[in-house]
Structure 1
Amino acid sequence: MESSSLSRSNLTSLRTFSFTIYGTTVLVSTYFPLFYAGLGFTSSQIGILYALGPMISLFANLLWSIASDRYRTIKKIMCILLIGQIIMSYILSISTSFSVIMLIITVFYFFYYPVLPLSDTMAINAAREHGKSFITIRIFGSIGYAFFALVIGYVLSLIGSHRTMWVTMTIAAIALIITLFIKDQSTPVAKMNMSGIWSILRQKELLWFFGCVFCLALSVRMNDAFLTITLKDLGAGENIIGWAQLASSCSEIPIFLFLSLYGERFKELPLLIFASLVFATRFLLVGLTDSAYAIVGIQLLHSLSFGIFYVTSIRMLTRLIPDEFRATGMALFTIVWSSASGLLSGTFGGMVFQELGRRQFYLIAMGFALAACLGFASRYLHRGPGLRAGKSTGSSKNV
């Protein structure tokens, strides 16, 4: 009975933690660009600042995740990361120079980017330990994102976007307190070594998967970096921007629930093909519309694009990557999905947005999504009957 009580307590703490850390994600993806714009930075400068995070996360994700696997602790590393975020946020709050902010935001990203893959690793481990679905924990991140997208928008409309960093510090501090109540990872893991990583990366199917994910991620990160700027250019205030983020995050919740219950009935590749096609449609519509309110409605397609893609990709990763390298595997996925793609899309996207305008920007994003769709489709069509039927050596249960 005591063990059952401790399990429920740990799962509750993990769900609360997942809920809270997505508040910082809302700020970084949605309101940091407005903070930069408020300081007078150009679209190209904002693109450079956006690209710095993915560049740093290329090694930050691996560094912290390898340390987690090697020392068998996620909780302690999570505390270090959150403390680093608080300190860097304070320094950013008193900085106005582009060169200074470029330096400080680089360090901030070093502490920010590894939090989500490590959080997902904790959730996956806890879900398997307690016989639960990973989605029953991760869905609270979506709820948290929806909550903070709306609340932060209203808060910043009252106190001003120049106080964005103070909101960041508050949310990181709350997450740090919650971390103290989370049970540390107790699942035995193998000692990390590079030969194990190379053995994973030599898998042709995994390399193909990462290649398609990277292509899709280019379009997604372009949209992430400049959606708020697009809304601002169309006359939207912080409240409307908050509603746009709320629409996207709320829309993914029923998809997460549906796939957690019935996802195993659907093959991975058809789901990824469909999600990529919806991403392409979504970016085309954003590029064509001239209404900020229409974009709020278009954001509902987030459910059929990101919602399906995320659950399916995590399911595929757990099949392709051995359990003992799970933290590092999640870090590799994050590097492809967020880091490498964000680095290119931030610098390239900033120049395209400034020089060619919004419509051409989103048409290019649509092109990348369609390329990913073709990549997933070609792999599906060229697989043998057994693989096409979805047979695998691993198990994706409880993911």
Structure 2
Amino acid sequence: MEPSSLSRPNLSSMRAFSFTIYGTMVLVSTYFPLFYAKLGFSNSQIGVLYALGPMISLIANLLWSIASDKYRTVKKIMCILLIGQIIMSYILSISTSFSMIMLIITIFYFFFYPVFPLSDTIAINAAKQHGKSFITIRIFGSIGYAFFALVIGYVLSVIGASRTMWVTMAIAGIALLITMFIQDQSSPVAKMNMSGIWSILRQKELLWFFGCVFCLAISARMNDAFLTITLKDLGAGENVIGWAQLASSCSEIPIFLFLSIYGDRFKELPLLIFASLVFATRFLLVSLTGSAYAIIAIQLMHSLSFGIFYVTAIRMLTRLIPDEFRATGMALFTIAWSSASGLLSGTLGGIVFEQFGRQRFYLIAMTFALIACIGFATRYFHRDPAIRARKSIGSSKKG
């Protein structure tokens, strides 16, 4: 009786928490660049501020996971992180110089990025404890992202982009309140197995996979960093920007559900080839259009690009990497998809956008997606010598 009595409130709290924290993700990825632009920063400066996040996340995730392991608590660490976000948001709200904001946003990212892996840790443990699927909790993050993308856009269109940090404080405060109702979990975030890195790097197929992921990630992160700036340049208000983010986040939900049920019926590499082609098509269309409303429609392709890629890539990783090195492989995937690519696309992307304009910027993003597509396709059509040998042996036995 006790587990069932705890199940509903804890899972409900986790769903509410997942829903809420993705509101801060919307702010950081979508509306922080508008806040920087409102302060008069150039596109290259905005690119630098964006690139700081992925760089800091490498250090922050490691340090806070060590703290979580040492003190055997996730909930208390989460509270510290959210309080840190609130304090740093307030300091950002009263800062105006680029050097000061670069310093404060670095500290903000230190408290911001670890929230998501810690949240996944609690959610996975809670789902297992109560015999539920992790997707039944995680999908509320996608719903929350869609909700806040629209609501925040309308709120900022009324109160102004200069009030972005006050909205950040409000959402982080709500998340902090919800945290009080979550059962603590002593399980730490999975650590990177250093001995497993060499074992992984010796696998040619994995190296090929990570290389393709990195190229595709550069194009995706370029879009993430400068989509809002692009929309603003095309005359879009905060509410239109919200609709663009709503379109992408809502579109991924049915794809996630479909592939989680039927994904095993399709081979991985053809799906990755298709997703890369859709990414390239997206960025080509953005480079050609001159309408902010057309970009909203283009954002619906997020389901067939990111949605298919993400589910399929995770599935391929679980197949290629042994269980004992799974955490290491996931850490390397995160570095390729989020951290290293975000650092490169933010710094260099800002310079490209400022010097060459939106059209060339997105054509370059399209090129990286095509390189990834060619890489996946080459791997798919390339027949490994060992596979050919096994087939020839099989044929000879039949003869």
Q: Where do residues 41-60 of structure 1 align in structure 2 (5 Å cutoff)?
A: 41-60=41-60
**Corresponding letter in the other structure for 1:110:** F
Note the alpha carbon deviations across 1:237-266, whole angstroms, 9 max, x for none: 111111111111111111112122222222
Alignment match, 2:17: 17
Q: Where do residues 168-207 of structure 1 align in structure 2 (5 Å cutoff)?
A: 168-186=168-186, 194-196=194-196, 198-200=198-200, 202-207=202-207
Identical-pair percentage:
86
**Corresponding letter in the other structure for 1:344:** L
**CA distance in 2: counterparts of 1:118 and 1:270, whole angstroms:** 33
Pair 1:303-2:300 in alignment? no
**CA distance in 2: counterparts of 1:236 and 1:289, whole angstroms:** 14
Alignment match, 1:89: 89
Alignment match, 2:225: 225
Q: Where do residues 1-399 of structure 1 align in structure 2 (5 Å cutoff)?
A: 1-68=1-68, 72-186=72-186, 194-196=194-196, 198-200=198-200, 202-320=202-320, 330-382=330-382
**Corresponding letter in the other structure for 1:351:** I
**CA distance in 1: counterparts of 2:178 and 2:191, whole angstroms:** 28
CA contact (8 A) 1:189 1:325 kept: no
SS in structure 2 opposite 1:343?
helix
Superposed displacement of residue 226, structure 1: 0.7
**Corresponding letter in the other structure for 1:62:** L
CA contact (8 A) 2:69 2:187 kept: no
**CA distance in 1: counterparts of 2:121 and 2:310, whole angstroms:** 14
**Corresponding letter in the other structure for 1:8:** R
- Cα distance 1:190–1:20, how it changes in 2: closer, same or farther (>3 A)? closer
SS in structure 2 opposite 1:133?
coil
**Corresponding letter in the other structure for 1:378:** T
Report how many residues are paired.
388
- Cα distance 1:191–1:216, how it changes in 2: closer, same or farther (>3 A)? closer
CA contact (8 A) 1:280 1:365 kept: yes
**CA distance in 2: counterparts of 1:67 and 1:223, whole angstroms:** 34
**Corresponding letter in the other structure for 2:217:** A
**CA distance in 2: counterparts of 1:205 and 1:140, whole angstroms:** 34
CA contact (8 A) 2:191 2:327 kept: no
SS in structure 1 opposite 2:301?
helix
SS in structure 2 opposite 1:357?
helix
- Between 1:307-316 and 1:78-87, the stretch displaced more is 307-316
**Corresponding letter in the other structure for 1:333:** F
CA contact (8 A) 2:193 2:328 kept: no
Taking structure 1 as the reference length, the TM-score comes to: 0.89
- Cα distance 1:225–1:383, how it changes in 2: closer, same or farther (>3 A)? same
Gaps of 5+ in 1: 389-399
Superposed displacement of residue 214, structure 1: 1.3
- Between 1:357-366 and 1:51-60, the stretch displaced more is 51-60
SS in structure 2 opposite 1:28?
helix
**Corresponding letter in the other structure for 1:307:** G
**CA distance in 2: counterparts of 1:139 and 1:50, whole angstroms:** 26
**CA distance in 2: counterparts of 1:82 and 1:357, whole angstroms:** 37
CA contact (8 A) 1:72 1:189 kept: no
CA contact (8 A) 1:117 1:331 kept: no
Superposed displacement of residue 162, structure 1: 0.6
**CA distance in 2: counterparts of 1:129 and 1:197, whole angstroms:** 31
CA RMSD of aligned residues (A): 2.6
Gaps of 5+ in 2: 389-399
CA contact (8 A) 2:74 2:187 kept: no
Superposed displacement of residue 386, structure 1: 10
**CA distance in 2: counterparts of 1:381 and 1:123, whole angstroms:** 39
SS in structure 2 opposite 1:290?
coil
- Cα distance 1:258–1:226, how it changes in 2: closer, same or farther (>3 A)? same
- Between 1:254-263 and 1:129-138, the stretch displaced more is 129-138
**Corresponding letter in the other structure for 1:253:** I
- Cα distance 1:321–1:172, how it changes in 2: closer, same or farther (>3 A)? farther
- Cα distance 1:258–1:294, how it changes in 2: closer, same or farther (>3 A)? same
**CA distance in 2: counterparts of 1:295 and 1:387, whole angstroms:** 44
CA contact (8 A) 2:92 2:105 kept: yes
CA contact (8 A) 1:57 1:335 kept: no
- Cα distance 1:26–1:192, how it changes in 2: closer, same or farther (>3 A)? closer
Superposed displacement of residue 169, structure 1: 0.9
**CA distance in 2: counterparts of 1:372 and 1:123, whole angstroms:** 32
Note the alpha carbon deviations across 1:5-34, whole angstroms, 9 max, x for none: 323332222221111111011101110000
CA contact (8 A) 1:231 1:241 kept: yes
**CA distance in 2: counterparts of 1:382 and 1:118, whole angstroms:** 39
**CA distance in 1: counterparts of 2:320 and 2:126, whole angstroms:** 20
Q: Which has the larger radius of gyration?
A: 2
Superposed displacement of residue 113, structure 1: 1.7
Superposed displacement of residue 139, structure 1: 1.2
Alignment match, 1:391: none
**CA distance in 1: counterparts of 2:241 and 2:384, whole angstroms:** 46
- Between 1:67-76 and 1:26-35, the stretch displaced more is 67-76
- Between 1:151-160 and 1:77-86, the stretch displaced more is 77-86
CA contact (8 A) 1:230 1:358 kept: yes
**CA distance in 2: counterparts of 1:79 and 1:234, whole angstroms:** 39
**Corresponding letter in the other structure for 1:9:** P
- Cα distance 1:191–1:106, how it changes in 2: closer, same or farther (>3 A)? closer
**CA distance in 2: counterparts of 1:7 and 1:386, whole angstroms:** 49
**Corresponding letter in the other structure for 1:135:** I
**Corresponding letter in the other structure for 1:103:** L
SS in structure 2 opposite 1:132?
coil
- Between 1:112-121 and 1:26-35, the stretch displaced more is 112-121
